[in-house]
Amino acid sequence: MADPALSHAPISEGTRPDGATPKDATAVLVLADGHIAWGRGFGAVGNAVGEVCFNTAMTGYQEVMTDPSYAGQIVTFTFPHIGNVGTCSEDMESHGVAGAVGCIVREDVTAPANFRSQADFSRWLELQGKIGISGIDTRALTRRIRISGAPNAVIAHDPKGDFDIEALMDRARNWPGLKGMDLAVKVSREGNEDWQGSIWQLGEGYTSACDGTHPHVVAIDYGAKDNIFRNLVKAGANVTVVPAETGLEAIIALQPAGVFLSNGPGDPAATGAYAVPVIKGLLDADVPVFGICLGHQMLALAAGAQTIKMHQGHRGANHPVKRIEDNVVEITSMNHGFAVDAATLPEGVVETHVSLFDGSNCGIAITGKNAFSVQYHPEASPGPQDSFYLFEKFVGSLV
């Protein structure tokens, strides 16, 4: 195999004849298909298993690493310079250990150069318990994923370079993968929360939430990004966040003007086992519903459609999506490895958005109901404001 392009001395891929770790290697990526890539470790020490995906965004690496939708995944950043602006507590999308288990980058992380930085990326990863590996040919790895699909793998970091490759390989091969896995319950909050705070502004931080006179939105947390709640508040809602497994009666008891279905990780069919009956009940009661990402897939399943595992998924901040009603193109942020199968949409469910990359479904609306959803993340603002109208449309319909 060809050596990866590194910022310093190359570290070869594949095992050495004597089974030893190559010189200067303090981290390794072991794929279930037998491929091995050596690099330099940073962040937490140890090893973690997950599905390797790639993200094409040039910025927002801290938001990516703390997005609960990346639970069970190892993120390959295609942009070569990751970590340069450091990290900031205000840029967290979740707290605790939710999010990706590790990351793969090409260049070594340099000292942060940003006035908002509070900690360098490596130290921050260590505190978060997440593993990083640099010195990897991320272009070749991304190409590998595009050709062969997202593989299961183990990422490992040991400052002494002491690795049991056979054991790591066994772990990668024995991991069941994301298909059939319900991860929403593992990253959802444990109790109800009255959300406080709107969007962030330079010099002010997060602005205040709405008062009690605004429409009350109950947001079901399947692994939500905090910025979604901030955008709901910006659009004029009071928000109560509830855990993923909250029942229909408990939601109705909160007297919502509308219900929001959040993003989240894992197989939508698995999460749907408990989420779909709740959403069907909301639709039967004519409660307005708006869903994003996994929430979009949950609404589609409740309406009678099916979901499928994608070959490589969509992850990045440059995904063009066409709004079918007027052919307007939105530049969107995406993070999903499953998709709604448009061919299974039943009568009464209208496709509203499609991906211009591969034609996959990116939005639906249910005829006769105030219920709609999109596959992408309008709160991530890559356009930068192409999709904020969705929050305004939902909250505005509740007044």
Q: Which residues are catalytic?
A: 293, 377, 379
Q: Do the Cβ atoms of 117 and 90 come closer than 8 Å?
A: no
Question: Is 256 in a helix, a strand, or coil?
Answer: coil
Q: Which residue has the tokens 């995406």?
A: 334
Preceding peptide of 268 cis, ω within 30°: no
Q: Do the Cβ atoms of 312 and 53 come closer than 8 Å?
A: yes
Question: Is 273 in a helix, a strand, or coil?
Answer: helix
Spatial separation of the C-alpha atoms in residues 64 and 178, rounded to whole Å: 18
261 C-beta neighbours (distance < 10 Å), count:
28
48 CB-near residues (< 8 Å, 6+ apart): 74, 101, 102, 130, 131, 154, 155, 156
For the chain, first and last CA: distance in Å? 61
Spatial separation of the C-alpha atoms in residues 21 and 98, rounded to whole Å: 31
101's torsion region: left (phi>0), alpha (psi -120 to 50) or beta? alpha
Spatial separation of the C-alpha atoms in residues 49 and 282, rounded to whole Å: 37
Report the number of secondary-structure helices (H) and strands (E) in the chain.
10, 19
Spatial separation of the C-alpha atoms in residues 63 and 94, rounded to whole Å: 9
Q: Do the Cβ atoms of 193 and 240 come closer than 8 Å?
A: yes
Angle at the Cα of 292 from the Cα atoms of 379 and 270, rounded to 5 degrees: 140
Q: Where are the beta strands (DSSP E) in the chain?
A: 27-31, 36-43, 46-55, 73-77, 102-104, 131-134, 152-157, 193-194, 200-201, 205-206, 216-221, 238-243, 258-261, 289-292, 307-323, 328-340, 349-355, 361-366, 371-374
